[in-house]
Amino acid sequence: MSYLDELQRKVNKYKNKYFFNNKKIAIKLIWWNLVQLFSLRNKQEKISKDNFNKIALYFSGGIGDILIGFNYACYLLEYLKKCNISIDIYVNNAGMVKALDGGADFNIYSNTSEESHKYLLKIGLVRYPQILEDNIVYSKYRKNERLLKLVQVYREFYANNPRFFEYLPFMDGMTNQYSLINGQRRIQQPDIGHILNISCDFKYSPKVSHEKRILNNLGLEPGSYITINRGVDNQGSVIESTKLWNVACYNKLVELIKNNFKNFKIIQLGASTERCELIKNVDINLVGETSLDGLKVLLKNSILHIDSEGGMVHLRKALNGGVSVVIFGPTLSDFYGYVTNINISSKACPFSCEWLNETWSKTCINRTNKHICMESISPYEVFKEVKKVLNHDEKMH
């Protein structure tokens, strides 16, 4: 909390406590300000010994949230490129995130590790950025207009919308609506006030290694196979999510693809056999068998990826891996979907039920037509869209 925020809090406190005694309020505020004066001086002397050129970002969530966080970090660096500022990233699962990133542009630490630096700013990011700590006043950047503008916009947004920060994840659905009204999809959501100009495409891209070796080991060539995922990642407790299309529909879709496009192998991906029901007649079952390095290679080089809305769709997009056919249910395709993908959703239940209650991802809340948002999407409808991608590829070759 900044000095001015803390001062305002003290003013409000003393007004309520000593309402009819202005003299006592003044004396209390004078004493508090004297304490702050010496505290700020000591803090400044302590901090000035450090090189204040780092910002700490704190991310949480699944693969999609982390990728959107990295993308935000890239845009933030671009916005501050003249300031010679670097970014450290703190996450819950540092090992997984390091493998996901695969590069060296950011230092990645565990949220439980001791901070090795004093930071210019600490920013938390779940849906929107939140200033957790601000030390700009003690640094050479205390008059930097771009940095001060960023902090001001973030603080004003928090002050006007505290529920978006204090009641997550229950407010996720409302934050989606707020962002859509302001012309932003999920990838753009961290860009409060549009000051970073985040687009619908990723500036950030995870590093990919050993592509040729990984594909050769599986007997694959780039563009010769289709990837399918039916499952959720390891971040949540729900396994059979309402976001998942019926496995019988996937079985029929695979049958249709294999009968009409015999040149493409079909590969099923997934976190584990416990979390991903197996689809019949796929050519290669890699559920629970791929590392993140392998997953990145496979998603980047497939001719098509078929999935429900989730982490692999975000990862393929960040890798510039081509088109995904994405089957949407309880979450909004207009918000989570990428414009370059084929996003399929039903009008049978035209409402998003994301976080309308605590069990939305486990149990459909539509008592009249259970899971109608997914049940009303037929394999033939999805295959019609799949054909467009595969026919186009065959014409190109």
DSSP notation for 223-257 = TSEEEEE-S--TTSS-SS-TTSPPHHHHHHHHHHH
Sign of CA dihedral 303, 305, 311, 317: positive
Contact present, 164 and 175 (Cβ < 8 Å): yes
Alpha-carbon distances of 359 from 170, 237, 240, 262, rounded to whole Å:
11, 11, 12, 41
Contact present, 144 and 137 (Cβ < 8 Å): no
- 272 — phi, psi (to 5°)? -165, 160
Tens-digit pLDDT profile for residues 203-224: 999 999 999 999 999 999 999 9
Judge whether residue 29 has pLDDT over 60. yes
- Residue 158 is given by DSSP the state H
Segments making up each domain of the chain, as ranges: 3-47, 54-194, 211-396
Residue with tokens 């595969």: 390
Judge whether residue 116 has pLDDT over 90. no
Helix (H, G, I), strand (E, B) or coil at 305: strand
Rg of the chain on CA atoms, in Å: 25
End-to-end CA distance of the chain: 60
Estimate the crossing angle of helix 247-260 against helix 379-396, to 10 degrees: 30
Name, in order, each residue with C-beta under 8 angstroms of 165's C-beta and a sequence gap of 6 or more: 126, 128, 130, 158
| pLDDT above 70 as % of the chain | 89
Predicted local confidence at residue 360, as pLDDT: 87
Query: What confidence tier does 232 reach under pLDDT thresholds 50, 70, 90?
Result: confident
d(CA 148, CA 154): 10
Predicted local confidence at residue 395, as pLDDT: 58
Query: What confidence tier does 105 reach under pLDDT thresholds 50, 70, 90?
Result: confident
Sign of CA dihedral 13, 15, 19, 25: positive
Query: What confidence tier does 131 reach under pLDDT thresholds 50, 70, 90?
Result: very high
* Section 264-276 average pLDDT: 89
Predicted local confidence at residue 36, as pLDDT: 72
Query: What confidence tier does 393 reach under pLDDT thresholds 50, 70, 90?
Result: low
Buried/exposed code over 73-90 (b: 16+ C-beta within 10 A; e: otherwise): bbbbbebbeebebebbbb
Residue with tokens 């009008």: 347
Other C-beta atoms closer than 10 Å to the C-beta of 45 total 10
What is the identity of the amino acid at 381? Answer: E
Predicted local confidence at residue 7, as pLDDT: 72
Tens-digit pLDDT profile for residues 276-291: 889 999 999 999 999 9
Judge whether residue 11 has pLDDT over 80. no
What is the value of pTM for the model shown? 0.85
d(CA 301, CA 304): 9
* Section 119-123 average pLDDT: 93
Predicted local confidence at residue 216, as pLDDT: 96
Sign of CA dihedral 162, 163, 167, 173: negative
d(CA 154, CA 76): 13
The neighbouring-strand residues paired with 109 are 90
Judge whether residue 59 has pLDDT over 90. yes
Query: What confidence tier does 49 reach under pLDDT thresholds 50, 70, 90?
Result: very low
* Section 11-16 average pLDDT: 69
User: Among 62-66, 184-188, 349-353, whose mean pLDDT is lowest?
Assistant: 349-353
* Section 382-397 average pLDDT: 82
d(CA 133, CA 279): 48
Tens-digit pLDDT profile for residues 303-347: 999 999 999 999 999 999 999 999 999 999 999 999 999 999 998
Predicted local confidence at residue 147, as pLDDT: 95
Judge whether residue 238 has pLDDT over 80. no
Judge whether residue 108 has pLDDT over 70. yes
**CATH class of residue range 211-396:** alpha beta
* Section 374-393 average pLDDT: 92
**The tokens of 115 are what?**
């901070």
* Section 21-35 average pLDDT: 77
Contact present, 287 and 266 (Cβ < 8 Å): no
Query: What confidence tier does 21 reach under pLDDT thresholds 50, 70, 90?
Result: confident
